[in-house]
Amino acid sequence: MYRASLSLLAGLSFVPGGSTAPTASPATLIASHYTGKLFTLTFTPSGSAGSLTVGSPVTGCGTTPAWLELYSADKTLYCFDESWNGSGFIAKYSVGSDGKLTLGSQAKTTGNSVHGLLYGGTDGKGFVATVEYSPSTLTTYKLPLSGSTKPLSTLKFTLAQKGPNSRQDVAHPHEALLDPTGKFMLVPDLGADLIRIFSIDANSGTLTSCGSGKADPGDGPRHGQFFWTKPDSTQPQILYTLNELGNSVSSWNITYPSGAGGCISLTKLQTLSTYAPGTKGGPTTKAAELRTFGNFLYAANRADQTFGSQNDSIATYKIDPATGKITWLEAANAYAYYPRTFEINKAGTLVAVGGQTSSNVAIINRDPATGKLGSLVASVQVATPGRAGEEDGLSAVVWNE
């Protein structure tokens, strides 16, 4: 495909690898900050460089907005509040074409939600599920949100015994991950070393525990991503998980039930470090986020300072498209300290990294052919920087596209 388009363009004065691409129009991003604010950022590309500007903040997601879930087709953003004071908020915003956020509805929560998303109903948007890190709960609510919204259900997880890592004192669900068929919810539990599996009743929003995948002791699974070795299938064949405590990523074979009423089963295939072979993280490093794009997997390391005091790394892996097997490619500069979230744009050409402690958003080049992350395109500080090892600074960033 790439070669064909080069020869097609041969008659034009196209310089391969050069910066003759037409200047694209500005893109917007949305970032949340642990001081209770959400910001719209505007990225204006200019040749191979670009600039980022930060708009005025909006509030509405409580004291500690932690996670953003964008529904671009609906121009809607949901924000989840990590407040650890025993109460918090879910907030819904409408997103203008210029990225401007307008607070719509809000609901009170029990606080400490580190992730959430919509599921069920007739269109996959009938309910919202959230996970609470220290209360160890998976909570559901019926949409639409309002001031009188109350939880539909609260499932509390417990441990049969503590895990080997001191942070595995209780169950710590870290994500409500909707399977692409919409029939199952997977909950990586950092405290329990489990990927908990729930079947979804789309009509009632009921989540029923139906099994789990067992991570290795001390892995501390945090987030997951799906991969298709059969791209035409509605069901993914592989799940990748990021292990925050083990500083590693794992791959799992997913088997879907043949009939109604069954459960997904997960078989662990592989675990690879988020550090280059022969190296490892230190006592304060914590892997944070993983993303797939094409046949590549990326995992962000927090506080490893591989590329300098304010430059942590993003581990890069190649995926064998036939089997989902991953192999180490390289460590790339995240241009951020404590990259808690990152997201690749739809074109696969740019990565937005949210540095939590550095409280910056960095835009980095990505080569779609090699999967490699490259030079810094733009970076901007958003609100106040955090303090090393504290729950402050910039919590999340998403592309608005």
Q: Which residues bind ligand NAG (CB under 6 A)?
A: 63-64, 83-85, 253, 255, 269, 307-311, 333
Residue nearest to ligand NAG (CB): 308
Work out the burial of residue 125: count CB atoms within 10 Å of its CB; fewer than 13 is exposed, 13-18 middle, 19 or more buried. middle
Half-sphere exposure at residue 121, Cβ-oriented, CA atoms within 13 angstroms:
14
CB of 308 to ligand NAG, least distance (A): 2
Angstrom distance (rounded) from CA 192 to CA 169: 9
Quote the DSSP letter at residue 229.
S
Q: Which is nearer to ligand NAG, 69 or 81 (CB)?
A: 81
- For the sheet with 65-71, list strands across it: 65-71, 76-81, 88-95, 101-109
CB of 391 to ligand NAG, least distance (A): 8
Give me the residues paired with residue 132 across strands. Answer: 113, 137
Nearest by Cα to 128 from 113, 114, 139, 136 = 139
Angstrom distance (rounded) from CA 287 to CA 27: 28
Phi then psi for 7, rounded to 5 degrees? -70, -35
Q: Which is nearer to ligand NAG, 87 or 165 (CB)?
A: 87
CB of 301 to ligand NAG, least distance (A): 14
Mention every residue, 6+ apart, whose C-beta is less than 8 A from residue 75: 94, 95, 96, 97
CB of 81 to ligand NAG, least distance (A): 8
Q: Which is nearer to ligand NAG, 153 or 323 (CB)?
A: 323
Q: Which is nearer to ligand NAG, 26 or 211 (CB)?
A: 211
| DSSP class per residue in 158-171 | --SS--SSTT-SS-
CB of 385 to ligand NAG, least distance (A): 12
Half-sphere exposure at residue 171, Cβ-oriented, CA atoms within 13 angstroms:
20
Q: Which is nearer to ligand NAG, 69 or 304 (CB)?
A: 304
CB of 40 to ligand NAG, least distance (A): 23
Angstrom distance (rounded) from CA 175 to CA 185: 10
CB of 396 to ligand NAG, least distance (A): 16
Q: Which is nearer to ligand NAG, 11 or 259 (CB)?
A: 259
Q: Which is nearer to ligand NAG, 253 or 295 (CB)?
A: 253
